[in-house]
Structure 1
Amino acid sequence: MQTAPSNRHVVAALDGSVAGSFVADWAAARAHAMGDRLTLVHVVLPVWVFQVPDEHTLALKRAEDLLESEAARVRQVYPDLEAATTIATGEPAEALSALSLKAGLMVVGTDRGPGTEGEGFGCVSFQVAVTSRCPVAVIPHNAPGQSSGVVVGVDGSPDAAGALKLAAGEARRLNEELIIVHAVDPHAAGGSPDDVAGKSAEWVNRNFPDISMRILSDPVHTPAEALTEASRGARLLVIGRKGKGGLSVLVGSVAQHILLNLRCPTILS
């Protein structure tokens, strides 16, 4: 198997929880389908955090065992997958952000979802989504068993255009319908409220004529609410990280809402 270029590299962060296996499975499936390399990583806190040095040594040993076990499991499913492991040391979000510099996709898990509240839930995945230098896939531990469709949000921004391109590629890879969601303002001046969705659909038809597609225009909900509802039971949701905020924000309000209310695996482009 040929070595993939550096940007054809999926990094999957495992934390030792049950959710980590979902992360490894999702990342391995995508890496294998795309011909990418896969690196499974576990972050161990710095030695000074541990009251007893032996506890740090034990944490490193547990990390090694975890990564070896998960790597063996995914290699059994995908024998030709180029899968490596690495142990990083430091604060988890900071360490993963550094690894994202050489990755094409960072995959993290989260315990955040419907019915979970409090600042402790999903905090690492949120920080990684904000600081990562590559697209981030966030995989909830309670992803629906029966799912279909790739949902993407569009708003006319360059950020959304990037999300649309990524989502169309994922729809082709997964052989799923692409669902273009636009929360329209029926009172907006300057053109039909469906112009954004229509132009997005035209772009998909030109560049991905082989995938099925439909438009979902929502004149009732906010963009965040529309995407949350549309992604119920979806196989994947793709959104731009910054939306119309552009370079002036680290992560847009829509992405913030989605991260705190995950309904399905979600990629922030």
Structure 2
Amino acid sequence: MVSRILVGVNGSRAARAAADWAARRAVDLGGELVLAHAVPGRGMFPGGSDYISARTRGQELLDGETARLQANEPGLRARRLLDDGEPAQVLCRLSGGAELLALGTDRTPDIHGEGFGSVSFQTAIMSRCPVAVVPAATGAADGGIVVGTDGSRDAAIAVARAAAEARRTGTALTVVHAAGDVTEGRTILGSAKAAATAGSPGVPVRELLDLDHDAPEALREAARNAALLVLGCKGRGGLRVLVGSVAKAVLFDIQCPTLITRAAVT
């Protein structure tokens, strides 16, 4: 089955960074990149000509971005989708069946990293497939793959995905847990390492127990130079929440490409 990666396109610097990241991944996996752009429905335009103009501009944006990406990534297979509706709703609807949805940030960066705006946040929590959030600017990515774990079922999904990414890219995996209880923390990390090693043999796994920071800060510090940070969607919040507090806090201060896995099915 061909891997299908979906990316939202809106002409911004952040969206271009996400498209670049997604295009490289599509080529590496031998998959297809689907570029999507949303235009407000016809009812949002009092005059029909304005709606037609908006769709024309949207198609031109998709055509130009596709040409740019294929010039930068020879062999890239790409498809364009122009749809009516709110951007978050359109992307979530199209995410069914995709291996991954890539998004840029859509808020001004703060002093720490890239901000995460309302459209991106809505899409990240409602998407039907895993979501990768890519900052507009990234530093040296020499820290391998980083994953956070709290011992939950959703964290186990994230650990398995992170280990597979480390194996695919030939990099090391760092498993992070932040807690005040040393014994519990070591137990959680040990279990995560064992699962990662069993699922992806040969991947070097480092355990990092952070007793000085809360979970979001521990993950941000560990992932500062990472190629990818992987998080579970809900963690111990379970069905009570759409996205866990840790994932939410990290999303609003993106340090590196960050992948949010989908929740475990109960």
TM-score (norm 1): 0.89
The match for 1:131 among 113, 126, 131 is 126
Contact kept? 1:241, 1:251, Cα under 8 Å: yes
The residue type paired with residue 211 of structure 2 is P
The match for 2:250 among 242, 248, 258 is 258
The SS at the match of 1:43 is strand
The residue type paired with residue 252 of structure 2 is L
Aligned Cα RMSD in Å? 2.0
Cα pair distance change 1:114/1:216, threshold 3 Å:
farther
Q: Say whether residues 1:174 and 2:145 are aligned partners.
A: no
**What residue in structure 2 maps to residue 214 of structure 1?**
206
Q: Say whether residues 1:224 and 2:219 are aligned partners.
A: no
Q: Distance in 2 between matches of 1:147 and 1:113?
A: 25
**What residue in structure 2 maps to residue 65 of structure 1?**
60
The residue type paired with residue 227 of structure 2 is R
Q: Deviations over 1:3-40 (max 9, x none)?
A: x34xx211010111122221111111111212222101
Q: How does 1:237-248 map to 2 (within 5 A)?
A: 237-248=229-240
**What residue in structure 2 maps to residue 89 of structure 1?**
84
Contact kept? 1:182, 1:223, Cα under 8 Å: yes
Unaligned regions of 5+ residues in structure 1, if any?
A: none
Q: Deviations over 1:107-155 (max 9, x none)?
A: 11113475179xx951111000111111001111122255432110011
Over the matched positions of the two proteins, sequence identity in percent amounts to 42
User: How many residues matched?
Assistant: 259
The SS at the match of 2:247 is helix
TM-score (norm 2): 0.90
The alpha-carbon deviation at position 95 of structure 1 amounts to 1.0
Q: Say whether residues 1:78 and 2:70 are aligned partners.
A: no
Q: Distance in 1 between matches of 2:19 and 2:148?
A: 26
Q: Say whether residues 1:100 and 2:92 are aligned partners.
A: no
The match for 1:43 among 38, 47, 60 is 38
Unaligned regions of 5+ residues in structure 2, if any?
A: 262-266
Q: Distance in 2 between matches of 1:175 and 1:53?
A: 53
The SS at the match of 2:104 is strand
**What residue in structure 1 maps to residue 145 of structure 2?**
150
Contact kept? 1:14, 1:42, Cα under 8 Å: yes
The residue type paired with residue 229 of structure 2 is L
Q: Say whether residues 1:13 and 2:8 are aligned partners.
A: yes
**What residue in structure 1 maps to residue 154 of structure 2?**
159
**What residue in structure 1 maps to residue 226 of structure 2?**
234
Q: Distance in 2 between matches of 1:177 and 1:57?
A: 50
